Structure 1
Amino acid sequence: MLRNRSVEQYLKEHMSFYIFVGVIFVTGVVFGAVMVNALSVEQKEEIMRYLSNFFSTVQSGGLEGDIPGSFKDAFGMHMKWLLIIWILGMSVIGLPLILILDFLKGVLVGFTVGYMVGSLSWKGLLFALVSVVPQNLIVIPTLMVCSVTALAFSVHLVKNRFMSRKGAIYEPFMRFCGVTLGSAVLLAGVAIFQAYMSPMMMKWVTPMLVSLAAS
Structure 2
Amino acid sequence: MNFLLTKLNDTFRDKKAYFFIVLIMFCLGISFGLYTVKYMGASDRNDLMNYFSSFSNSIANEPVNYGNLLFEVIKKNILLIVPIFILGLTFFGAPIILILDLLKGFSLGYTFSFMVTTFEGKGIGLALVSVIPQNLIYIPCFIALSVISLSMSTEKFKGKFFKRGKNKNSFLDGILNKLIIIIILFLIGMLIETYLSPSLIKFVTKRFYS
TM-score by length of 2: 0.88
- TM-score calculated relative to the size of structure 1: 0.86
| Structure 1 CA distance for aligned equivalents of residues 189 and 9 of structure 2 | 28
Do 1:91 and 1:154's aligned partners in 2 also have CA atoms closer than 8 Å? yes
CA contact (8 A) 1:33 1:111 kept: yes
Among all aligned residue pairs of Structure 1 and Structure 2, give the percentage whose two residues are the same amino acid.
28
Q: Does 1:159 align with 2:140?
A: no
Q: Which residue of 2 aligns with 1:38?
A: 39
Q: Structure 1 regions of 5+ residues with no counterpart?
A: none
Q: Kindly state the Cα deviation for residue 34 of structure 1 after the two structures are TM-superposed.
A: 0.2
- In the other structure, the counterpart of 1:150 is 149
Q: Distance in 2 between matches of 1:172 and 1:103?
A: 24
Shift of 1:185: 2.4
Shift of residue 14, structure 1, vs aligned partner = 0.5
Does the residue aligned with 1:132 lie in a helix, a strand or coil? helix
Count of matched residue positions in the alignment of Structure 1 and Structure 2: 204
Equivalence map 1:33-182=2 (5 Å): 33-62=34-63, 64=64, 66-165=65-164, 166-167=166-167, 172=172, 175=175, 177-182=176-181
Q: Equivalents in 2 of 1:206, 1:9: separation in Å?
A: 40
Q: Work out the CA distance in 2 between the residues paired with 1:195 and 1:144.
A: 22
Identify if the C-alpha distance between structure 1 residues 182 and 80 changes in structure 2 by more than 3 Å, giving closer, same or farther: farther
What is the identity, as a one-letter code, of the residue corresponding to 1:102?
D
SS at match of 1:123: coil
Letter aligned with residue 207 of structure 1: K
C-alpha distance 188-10 of structure 1, shift in aligned 2 (>3 A): closer
**What whole-Å deviation, never above 9, does each CA across 1:22-52 have from its counterpart, x for those lacking one?**
1111111011000012322211111111111
Structure 2 unaligned segments of length 5 or more: list them: 1-5
Distance 1:114-1:9 versus aligned 2 partners, 3 A rule: closer
Aligned to 2:3: none
Whichever residue aligns with residue 201 of structure 1, its letter is L
CA RMSD of aligned residues (A): 2.4
Conserved? CA contact 2:11–2:171, under 8 Å: no
CA distance in 1: counterparts of 2:202 and 2:96, whole angstroms:
37
Q: For 1:94 and 1:30, how far apart are their aligned partners in 2?
A: 24
Where do 4+ consecutive residues of structure 1 move more than 4 Å?
A: 5-12, 168-171
Alignment check: 8 A CA contact 2:145 2:182 kept: yes
The question of whether the paired residues in 2 share the 8 Å contact of 1:116 and 1:124 is answered with yes
| Deviation of 1:73 (Å) | 0.6
Give the residue type in structure 1 aligned to 2:49: M
Cα distance, 1:12 vs structure 2: 4.2
Shift of 1:202: 0.6
User: C-alpha distance in 1, partners of 2:129/2:9?
Assistant: 34
Give the 3-state SS of the residue equivalent to 1:28 in structure 2: helix
Q: How far is 1:199 from its partner?
A: 1.1
